Amino acid sequence: MGDGMFTKVIQIAFVVKDLDAAVRTYSQVYGIGPWKISEINSKTVDDLYKHDNRTDFSYRVAMCDIGDLEWELVQPMDDASIYSDFLREKGPGLHHVAFATEDYDKSGEALRNAGKMVLSSGNWEGLRFTHFDTEDDLGFVLELFKSPNQ
């Protein structure tokens, strides 16, 4: 891979059992918010993949900005996503960290060439995302974003 592949951390995501309860805790106890809640599934995301297979799964996300960092909470809505796998195997907790990169395609290729498997990917409202299996190395899943203007 190489030095300087990532330009900054843009998101930290946690898997939760109950999104509404988690948002209430973050908001009422810690004053963190406001939150935007969305559902991710094959109707809201184009080209939804898990382990290189086009698939259908569903999860809810709540996102808010804390300074320059996006905080994301994820609740799986079925047993088919990488988030439901994570919740079943590990319980709630830190799932992924998303990094900005100068070149999404080049960085993704470098990760694949380094043996990092694509866990899931899709295109949500023009934002392409890919999750890579980096837990053994980093202790979390690595996510790359490609915004529509890149």
104, part of any domain: yes
138, part of any domain: yes
CB 138 within 8 A of CB 9: no
Number of domains observed in the structure of the chain: 1
pLDDT at 131: 96
Q: Containing domain of residue 128, as a range?
A: 6-146
Q: CATH number of the domain that 50 lies in?
A: 3.10.180.10
Among candidate residues 117, 126, 55, the one with its CA nearest the CA of residue 84: 55
Q: How far apart are CA 31 and CA 41, in angstroms?
A: 29
* CB contact burial 37-56 (16+ within 10 A = b; e otherwise): eeebbeeebeebbbeeeeee
126, part of any domain: yes
> Pick the residue with more confidence: 2 or 101?
101
Going 28 to 81 to 117 to 7, the CA torsion angle's sign is negative
Q: Confidence band (pLDDT; 50, 70, 90) for 51?
A: confident
> Does residue 14 carry a pLDDT above 90?
yes
User: pLDDT tens across 88-138, in order?
Assistant: 999 999 999 999 898 999 999 999 999 999 999 988 877 889 999 999 999
- pTM for this structure? 0.91
34, part of any domain: yes
101, part of any domain: yes
What average pLDDT does this structure show over 35-50?
Answer: 87
Task: Quote the longest CA-to-CA distance of the chain.
Answer: 44
1, part of any domain: no
